[in-house]
A and B are shown apart, each in its own frame.
Chain A
Amino acid sequence: MTLTVAATNDWLRRFARSVDDNEQLLTDLDAAIGDADHGSNLRRGMLAVVEQLATEPAITIGDTLRGAGMTLISTVGGASGVLFGTLLLRMATLTGERTTATATEVIAALRDGLEGVRTRGHAELGDKTMVDVLAPTIDALDAAVTSGASLADAASTAAIAAQAARDATTALVARKGRASYLGDRSIGHVDPGAASTALLFAALAGALAEAAAVDA
């Protein structure tokens, strides 16, 4: 199976719903080691994305992701707007004019997105950021596809890996962002950006499972 424009739309909508449902959780995580605004900021941005999907539907995967990325950059504020926006913009560049993307293409786009986030955010693996979910989750997706799973099945394996990666940020010392000011006091808390990134992959798994069910 492939990723379609409709599934891409569904992915973003599901992510928006999930951020809305988890706004308080994300904000609480941020209150513990940051500044208590991750949930409300990301919710604002994703509501704007959903509105844009409804009013200015795009024809290609690239344009859909580019529109969402630009909207996040211009509405969220803070580091998370620029970083989530960068992830989607870089994915958009690689998926380009396509209306469907194969599993390999999706993985390549995600890897490029991860590279964009690392470069823009100057973050490495282990810094207790969204990179700590992005990297292992993309690896898990890649491994599942390589071992013959369908894109939908691989995405649900990846979503589980994302949750584990999110939880694993608890033990890390924050080295980037506001949480880094706390030093060792950041240990024992899940990174809010890691938590929202896990939601992004849960949404992807949900959208692809739905698309697969419709196909079958």
Chain B
Amino acid sequence: MSVELSTSGKVLRATSVSAGYDGRAIVHEIDVEATPGKVVSVVGPNGSGKSTLLKSLVGVVPVLAGTVTVGDTEITNLAPERIAMLGVGYVPQIDDVFPPLSVKENLEIGGYLLPRHDVASQIEAVLEFFPRLRTMMSRKAGKLSGGERKMLAMGRVLMLSPSVLVLDEPTANLAPLVATQLLEEYIRGFADHGSTVLLVEQRAKAALRISDWTCVLSGGRVVLSGAPRDLENNPLFVESFLGGGAARA
């Protein structure tokens, strides 16, 4: 992988974060820390507040209490564009590309903060990482398949060589094989290249396979956290996520 990914990831830290809409907290007093070269995953049932947590870290949902920092910089409640400028790349679960724009234009928008003369070379770097996108550069993003679209969403974020990648259910609605490739090849690859990766994932087993640390969210609170190996031996976790109906490989 020769893409110019940042090899100087920064620590993303949420300390006692409560966040929600209209002054009403959906997630409560969350502590999460993601470090360079590691994948930290957040798993939990639907409605547990996983996406709200991620959105609060990237400025989309207001933080009502607590602090969020990237490296030494506090980013609590900064505007999303300021957080992007500080090297945090965010891929939402849905609406993750600009459908009316072509693949090339989506990547160009991803590199909006780059100096103009660096955009073409960075697109080339992203295409080396996601070679399938090369054949569809003029196609509108709205016409792509789910897997292609997710690759484009990731590619768009990689345009800025972010220090921190925040990914909200990147495998949602993807075929199992594509989902596995995305998680094991690409997302794990980002961390192996030095980036900090914070991932929300419904497929608990698959998330554990690529994670260095996992938090379990339920009812808006962290109910368990630990290394994947420890969680796999935790009867409560196994019952809730690996053995029960909620589990998805």
- Decide whether A and B are members of one complex: no
